[in-house]
Amino acid sequence: MKITDIRCATIGDNPIVRILTDAGISGYGPVEFTKPYIKPHVMHLREALIGEDPTNVERVMLKIRQRGAFKPYGAGVSAVEIALWDIAGRAAGVPVYKLLGGKVRDRVRVYNGGVRERMTRFEPEDFAASVRAMKAAPHGFTIVKQGIGFHSGMKHEAGFHIGETRPSPFHGALDRGLMTERAFKHVVECVAAMKAELGDGIGLALDCGPGMMVPDAIRLARALEPYNIMWLEDMITGDYIPYVNADVYREVTQASSTPIHTGEQIYLRQNFKELIEKKAVNIVGPDPCDVGGLAELKWIAEYADLHGILMAPHGIADGALGIAALVQVSAALPDNYIAFELPAIRPAWWIDILEGFPNPLVKDGFIEVWDRPGLGVDFNVGKASAYLAEADKGFFD
């Protein structure tokens, strides 16, 4: 089998990579909906892929892996890797998880980061209302995540931190500074309000930055110890920050019993090495659509497990096809797996153009692992074609 072409089209909000072969089998890989600009990068990889056997996934990846970098520049390589596994599974007649070592669980836990209404106010009662709605969602989530502090509109409020706020058109623009005493107390009050609403039946994770300074990060981790928070995410670096600062994270992690989490922006296992070996965090959260793909994420999970570090993959912007990819890899992860972040499906019609999902998709906070070949989902080409831009009309041809 040989690769004959590679294409990229934006369907709804998510760019999708398609790899075609001379056997008539195609594979698909998702890109986060935050990256509509990725197509030229994907097409830059085309020359290296044509003529290769897509079922030799690692051999193909050795030709292109060096063309990626920290988020957002690992997205094209990651999407290609996922599409290659989709082809390999379809060619072998087995789900991708079989090719990643086989499943160790029949259903995978997910956590909620995207099934929510956007917050416009940031008082304790607003946070309580937000998690109340998550608790009432039909998905039956057992873990929910909320943005606070520098990962929320709080950072734009007067008197929040001692530093400069720099308006930027880019998501994840970095504002940093020491929080004022008033702001620090406010954050803790908001967390207390959420825990009062959720009780001890639903875990609460907090996305806190990046942007916090070390003294605040340590104080916050200690102040929240009585609330048994699932984790504090990306306090120091994260999101679109193209470096790790493992030594700084280690200082925070060692100062408190509250679990510390990072990793969504990191590209490749090599860049998790210091975080893991120094036990700089308690939980890592790579995103398959940024880290380099599914095998890359599994390698990181295995290495983290050897060091007693937990795994909670990121995924909020990976879209409906990203859900399929995350289900496949999460089914094969070791027991350090907690849950993956359920990608938001936007627009909602994506669930109609991609066939093969269980109905309901999420039940009691879990997704049942399906056994169809490849990623196990298929485009309804007739329906999906209606949503293609004019320039992408030949995507499914």
More confidently predicted of 130 and 116: 130
Cα distance between residue 356 and residue 69, in whole Å: 32
Strands 232-233 and 203-207 come out as parallel
| 323 CB burial (10 A radius; 0-12, 13-18, 19+) | buried
Residue range 143-185, pLDDT digits in tens: 999 999 999 999 989 899 998 887 888 876 788 999 999 999 9
CB 49 within 8 A of CB 38: no
* Residue 283 clears pLDDT 90, i.e. is over it: yes
Measured N-to-C along each axis, helices 214-223 and 181-198 cross at an angle, to the nearest 10 degrees, of: 30
153-162, 208-217, 229-238: the lowest-pLDDT one: 153-162
Report whether the peptide linkage leading into residue 242 is cis, meaning its omega lies within 30 degrees of zero. Answer: no
Vertex 219: Cα angle to 273 and 310 (nearest 5): 30
Cα distance between residue 26 and residue 5, in whole Å: 10
Residue (of 189, 223, 204) closest to 145 by Cα position: 204
- The third-level CATH classification (topology) of the domain covering 99-374 is TIM Barrel (3.20.20)
Cα distance between residue 24 and residue 31, in whole Å: 23
Residue range 348-393, pLDDT digits in tens: 999 999 999 999 999 999 999 999 999 999 999 999 999 999 999 9
101-110, 149-158, 314-323, 366-375: the lowest-pLDDT one: 149-158
Looking at the chain, the domain(s) classified CATH 3.20.20.120 span 99-374
Q: What is the mean pLDDT of residues 229-254?
A: 97
318 torsion bin: left (phi>0), alpha (psi -120 to 50), beta (else): alpha
Residue (of 29, 65, 26, 28) closest to 45 by Cα position: 65
Cα distance between residue 62 and residue 53, in whole Å: 13
The CATH architecture one would assign to domain 3-93+379-392 is: 2-Layer Sandwich (3.30)
Confidence of residue 23 (pLDDT cuts 50, 70, 90): very high
pLDDT the model gives residue 169? 83
Looking at the chain, the domain(s) classified CATH 3.30.390.10 span 3-93+379-392
